[in-house]
Structure 1
Amino acid sequence: MKKFLVAALLAGGLNGWASVRPDTIVVVNHPQKVTIEKSLSSLSVKVEGRGSDQQYYYSERMETDSSAAFLTKEQRTDNWDFKIPFVGKKKQKMLEKNTTDVCFGGFGFGLVSAVGADDGVKVDMGASFELSMDHLLSIHYNLTHSTYVSAGFGMTWRNYRMTGRNRFIQNVDNLQVGPYPEGAQIDFSRLKVYSLTVPLMLHQYLNRDIVVSFGLVINFNTHASLKTRYVLDGEKVCEKSNNIHHNRLTLDLMAKFRFRTLGLYVKYSPTNVLNTEFGPKFRSLSTGITLFY
């Protein structure tokens, strides 16, 4: 309701208002709540809230006789007088347009899977994790009152773990996938990748609490390693390598849904985790939650 207008037009035979001006007009812009009470002898108008001022209060009561005639008019401009689920008011302002903000913090936790993988690469999503703080520093530019773009800097740690019969095997310069030695008691075989990240995102407020985001995350993969553990003939075996020929630069496509400080995200990488000239092919797919963004 953009504007509320009450006109009390009094007829000629009023007893209580004979000496008062015949017309009373009250205009309140952007009222939050308007209550009108009519009876045979009175008219009462209450306005609660005005624009962003929730403390605003206006009240007027007029005593009349039963012959008084009243006209109550509600005037709208370009706003519809109903609400669409998950969509805020058309001109509700969440952001200050054409301004820049600097933000810090945010934490994400998710589960990781391998998609488009070569035979034998069977990553256990329930045992493979992703930890991220990709907005240690983030700069926001507000395009409109409900839309903004951001560029950030952070870090991500990913773990691709296999718990089945196959393991990652380092052979000189190549990384392969193959079975454990016969009779081995299997623990796990995993690849770990540590990345510095630059997320470039577009964010849209649906209302004051809900934000959807889409964008690209650039991963500078500064470190990766292999670790396999099993027991053979009563002896614990741990195989390690820091030379697994991972791709130094990968990309993620990311979508997020956030309600206040809690969010859900999905990330898909169209680029392979490893250099396929030296190791098996697989790409990353992860999903999880975010906090305090």
Structure 2
Amino acid sequence: MLISTRPSELSAGLRHWRTRRRVSQLELAVRAGTTQRHVSFIESGRSVPGREMVIRLTESLQLPLRDRNALLLAGGYAPAYDETPYDDVGLGAIRTALTEILEGHRPYPAVVVDRRGDLVLANRAFHVLTAGSSDALLTAPINVPRLLLHPDGLAPRILNFPQWSWHVIDALTREALQNPAPESDALIEELTALVPPRPDLTPDHLGFAVPLRLRSAQGDLRLITTLTRFGTAVDVTVSELRMEAFLPADPSTAAALQRLDPV
């Protein structure tokens, strides 16, 4: 359904995303199955692409579904992807699957968060791990990065806080570069003010591979994290969900987690 036509806004949006993704007009044309000339004409506003071409271009640029919808609207077309509330009956099967996955991770902590990092779902092991944090941080909406790095949250118990806090902030920054949003920038700024200066590199620096070393009632834990996304989601809400699991980095941590949350 054609709503309105604003090719200049669409042209600027496509050019912005292509530049951000560091893709040439020729490369984008090849990915989308069109010509460089056509892409050039679209970006200059000399050609107005059809709905299918907008979808192909935004898919080729690997845009988040929310931003694909925005560019479709900018071109005068209705959104292609639904945005269903998480608690809607239509996402019942997704909720059930996520609950079962998180339960299957016990006794290892695991969470599902939305694009803002706000908690959508957590297993009991995560709640056990975060027990003792301030009520303000544990009151919905619970922002997981804030809970981890806030002095009233887990920060005082993180033994390698300077290294791990910047590991979290750097991950958020990389995500914001790929999928920019004002709330992401605000969160990064907030968290940066909470952590110590970035530590100097040492001979044992492991780059992005920074285990979380956390003090617990059952001894010190060494945890590594995994991140999982829905790779083929066609709903905006589902596409923005991500699951993060905290896994033991050694046998003593595995045993301690089993004591903390007996299955």
TM-score (norm 1): 0.23
Larger radius of gyration: 1
TM-score (norm 2): 0.25
Q: Which has the higher helix share?
A: 2
